[in-house]
Structure 1
Amino acid sequence: MSCFMGIDAGTSGIKAIVIDENGTVRGSGYHECDVLNPRPGWAEQAPQMWWETCCQAVKKAVEQSGCGKEIAGIGFSGQMQGTVFIDKEHRSISNCMIWLDQRSTEQVMEIEQLISDEEALQATANTCLNSFWAPKILWAKKYWPDVYEKIDKVIFTKDYLRLRMTGEVATEVSDASLSFLLDVAKRKWSDEMFQRLDIPKSFAPKCVESCDVAGYLLESVAKDWGLTAGIPVVAGGGDQPAGGVGTGIVKPGVVGATIGTSGVVFGCTDKPLIDHKKRALMTMAHSVPDKWCYLGLVLTAGGSFKWVRDNIFAEKKAEFAVQGKDIYDYMTAQAAKAKPGCEGLTFLPYFNGEKTPISDEKARAVFFGLSSRHNSGDLCRSVMEGVTFALRDTIEICREFGMEVNEVRANGGGAKSDLWLQIQADIYNANVVTMNMEEGPAAGGAIMAAVGCGTFGSVPEACEHILKVEKVVEPIRENVKLYDDYYDTYRELYPALKEIYSKQDQKVKKYL
């Protein structure tokens, strides 16, 4: 029986899984990655670190699977909007400005002077955000001239890993959709956008569909990993479209919610969804041919819970590590003891600014309503609730567009916690469903590999064969009303703080 590998190049780490054509997970491996924050608002990672981490994760997955020579193809998922500059020798020439990076706000403002919002929506289906390629490239042109002069191509995170695996430079339509340089409706690079922004079209790599074969595994890499040289490596997709494939969100009417380092609400459409309000709702070509998708992004979702782990529970984390226990299980157990709503303790998860719907890089995290009655369990639960309120913002935009949201497919770390699943069901007022594949993005990569290798004729066919509903969590009616009340409070906090955020940002820069 043929097997397929999916590699998910996430922000917090890289995951590799091996599945067979029936969807059974035969092996998995994971290794963490670090994010560098050299200045406030900056977020970088070293591409070489990705490669080393990827090698470790893949070797573990292959060893665990025991079927390295049966792996017929490899597919990808990867953190989106990362900007990797490579030279003519295919070497990275700087750290990658990842999606969390906020440094190019000045360039977004310049772009908005050149291109109106309506023109941008017509050309790219999106309004410009400082996480996109275009403003980051223009920032490098101004502030990293030595780097800019060496650029031959710009690629995304997963594309760098594929380059190291195959020697071929390429990207694909889902990731490219958030470059601000792709005609999303036509699924090809926009000559107009390159010209108007004065960015060389030569920077753009070949752009293919997600399930297209983009190269073949090099002999040296195959030998190191215990695989067969020359097996096809498909283009893969951005982590959200790939996660959509891995959870079966491949047709309209199904919505997904992912709580990883970031948080995302994701859905599929038959044509590009255009939001004429500036709420950072992003529209992309899906990893499914002839389908499009949209997402709303919470910058720091599971990352907020990780911050609590590393700062409030640091000693307990070290103690549990020695004992081989999971500190997250302990934190969740503490949160479960707190009351829904935490007696008014409300958390804004804006550690590194926020995207949907406020799009404000100056926003920062807040615990509101903290009293002497609250304890560490309340802090944990309020973070879970605050992140879920932030995701609900996008679900409300979906409802505004006339979509019924009665089922939400959960993915990421938030899908592994029964408590967080219930909190999501209560706050969304919708059934929350988990699928048999825990790691949606990596599973999506493997499914795309199976399609690219010809084992299945299409992505929907592969999803129907491989994916099954595992659990359904229904909302608790009395909690729905309670959370509706506290969601109103959550929605009132950012407008009240917006000007203060801006003033505080100026003070921080003044004293750096």
Structure 2
Amino acid sequence: MYWLGIDLGTSGIKAVIINETGEVVSMGYAEQNVITPKSGFAEQNPEVWWEACCSAVKMAVSKGNISGMEVRAIGFSGQMQGLVLLDSMGNVIRNCIIWMDQRAADEVKVIDEMSCKAGIDTLDITANDCLPTFWAPKLLWIKKYEPEIYEKINKILFPKDYLAFRMTGEMAAEVSDGSLSFLMDVPYRRWSTEMFELLGIPKSFVPNRLLESTDIVGELKASVAGEWGLKAGIPVIIGGGDQIANRIGTGIIREDVMGASIGTSAVVFGCSRKPFIDYNKRAIQSLCHGIPDLWCYLGLSLTAGASLKWMRDVIFREKKAEFEKQGKEIYDYITSIASKAAVGSGGVLFLPYFNGDSAPNNDPNARACFFGLSLNSDMPELCRSVMEGVAFSLRETIEVCRQTGKNIDTIRVSGGGSKSRLWRQIQADIFDASIATMSVEEGPACGAAIMAAVGSGYFSSVMEGCDAIVRVKDTIEPIRENVEIYDEYFHLYRSLYKDLRQSFKERAALIN
């Protein structure tokens, strides 16, 4: 029994085929880039997604020791908050404004003013404080600055739902992605007519079908199945946003288990039996889980995980090209350099805010910087400080969760940050928590495959699927001496952002 999980990430698309025991029998991958036309802007071309998806799936099918005809269903994981605009013919009319884009900061202020004027507490409806990455402010930005595009809009889709549309010809949205649109009634898991009317956005823009994560979008078209080597007509399951899929793939389906992941972004994630609402407006996002009676919350550091990729592409550009020719992994080389630096990187601190920060600072103007460089600082200190800075950014959200009474002793980690033992130890020491890795490393794609297995009827529930497939592989404990050192550096890290907030704002004004 086999299922295909497709993970539409920011850096690339993974296609993973798993069996009923959770074994990854084959995987394909295709890389893609982010388009940054201006500071704070971030876009991708949906057609590039489709091409990458086709390449990744065909690679997975051809590499496996199985026939593609044995794959029973397809499930999705996808980067969240992306705005894909379609015309009446179903054609994309501009690049997707993706989740890390910060251009709509002024539109957030407009939405706040509209809400206050109307006397509507949007937190009670959306369970979220409005962020510039959400659909609603992005649509208002399009309406103001690209009116000719706005007039052509017939439907809007989230990234993974666009791929599902290309596979099946059917349009739908899903509750975890919809939760971060600022157009959805999150407690009742439905579109909010009140929010559409308040913001003047036509409700006809969104698909009528708002599905749960294990629902079927449609059947795989014969033309696509033929190209990919799969069976035509197999069910395509809507799946969940990457944060939901990743947590299903790592077994974060109960309130007493928390997760953290470092990919392009970095995230801390937990579950709750009712919507988690952050009344202090620290950009803790609240959304529907992939399980119908469960909600979840997450704190997002927008480009924390992209920080090491930046080092790879900028500081280690020549080395990267050399390693690619040799078929070696450059990240292993970078982390080996980082391992030569002492805990605390000799007093060098790194703020990983390349494109603003979400939780808990909610500042689109924030930017990355190194602090504490001296003539004694060398490449080991630079590399390790980036890894530590990413972990510090996640600890900010962990501290918010602890303040609300969450007992955080063990955190299940995933993404690129889970593959390095050094980075896992850094996280354990900075979080002061046990760090567990899972038997299946590709959490989002694995979660997508689990949802495919549930949606196609093999498992009766997501919990049954997780219990059958997801297992802890390894656990790293914090080193007490390091915990104490990092506590002091964390307080300095926090003070740096507070001291620089006004300077970030002034810089943004100069750039604009």
Q: Which TM-score band applies after superposition, normalised by the shorter structure?
A: over 0.9
1:192 aligns with 2:191: no
The aligned residue for residue 250 of structure 1 is 253
Given residue 348 of structure 1, which amino acid in structure 2 is its aligned partner?
A: L
Q: Secondary structure at the match of 1:397?
A: helix
1:77-226 paired onto structure 2 within 5 Å:
77-116=77-116, 119-205=121-207, 206-226=209-229
Q: Deviations over 1:189-235 (max 9, x none)?
A: 00100000000000111211000011110000000000000000011
C-alpha displacement at 1:505, in angstroms? 1.1
> CA separation in 2, counterparts of 1:134 and 1:508?
25
The aligned residue for residue 241 of structure 2 is 238
1:283-298 paired onto structure 2 within 5 Å:
283-298=286-301
Q: Deviations over 1:395-431 (max 9, x none)?
A: 1111011010001000000010000000000000000
Q: Secondary structure at the match of 2:339?
A: helix
Q: Secondary structure at the match of 1:347?
A: strand
Q: Secondary structure at the match of 1:195?
A: helix
1:451 aligns with 2:454: yes
The aligned residue for residue 7 of structure 1 is 6
> CA separation in 1, counterparts of 2:443 and 2:67?
21
The aligned residue for residue 29 of structure 2 is 30
C-alpha displacement at 1:163, in angstroms? 0.5
Q: Deviations over 1:445-479 (max 9, x none)?
A: 00000000110000001000011110000000100
C-alpha displacement at 1:251, in angstroms? 1.2
1:329 aligns with 2:329: no
The aligned residue for residue 49 of structure 2 is 50
> CA separation in 2, counterparts of 1:371 and 1:61?
48
Q: TM-score, normalised by structure 1?
A: 0.98
> CA separation in 2, counterparts of 1:381 and 1:277?
32
C-alpha displacement at 1:118, in angstroms? 7.5
Q: Secondary structure at the match of 2:253?
A: coil
The aligned residue for residue 270 of structure 1 is 273
> CA separation in 2, counterparts of 1:16 and 1:393?
32
Q: Secondary structure at the match of 1:115?
A: helix
C-alpha displacement at 1:99, in angstroms? 0.5
Which residues of structure 1 form unaligned runs of 5+?
A: none
1:403-482 paired onto structure 2 within 5 Å:
403-482=406-485
Q: TM-score, normalised by structure 2?
A: 0.98
Q: Secondary structure at the match of 2:180?
A: helix
Identity %: 56
C-alpha displacement at 1:348, in angstroms? 0.2
Q: Secondary structure at the match of 2:370?
A: strand
Of stretches 110-119 and 258-267 in structure 1, the one that deviates more from structure 2 is 110-119
> CA separation in 2, counterparts of 1:91 and 1:237?
23
The aligned residue for residue 484 of structure 1 is 487
C-alpha displacement at 1:67, in angstroms? 2.8
> CA separation in 2, counterparts of 1:325 and 1:106?
44
The aligned residue for residue 500 of structure 1 is 503
C-alpha displacement at 1:91, in angstroms? 1.1
> CA separation in 2, counterparts of 1:322 and 1:134?
45
Match of 1:282 among 274, 285, 290: 285
Given residue 33 of structure 1, which amino acid in structure 2 is its aligned partner?
A: Q
Q: Secondary structure at the match of 2:213?
A: coil
C-alpha displacement at 1:323, in angstroms? 1.1
C-alpha displacement at 1:311, in angstroms? 0.7
> CA separation in 2, counterparts of 1:410 and 1:375?
29
C-alpha displacement at 1:301, in angstroms? 1.8
Paired residue total: 508
Which residues of structure 2 form unaligned runs of 5+?
A: none
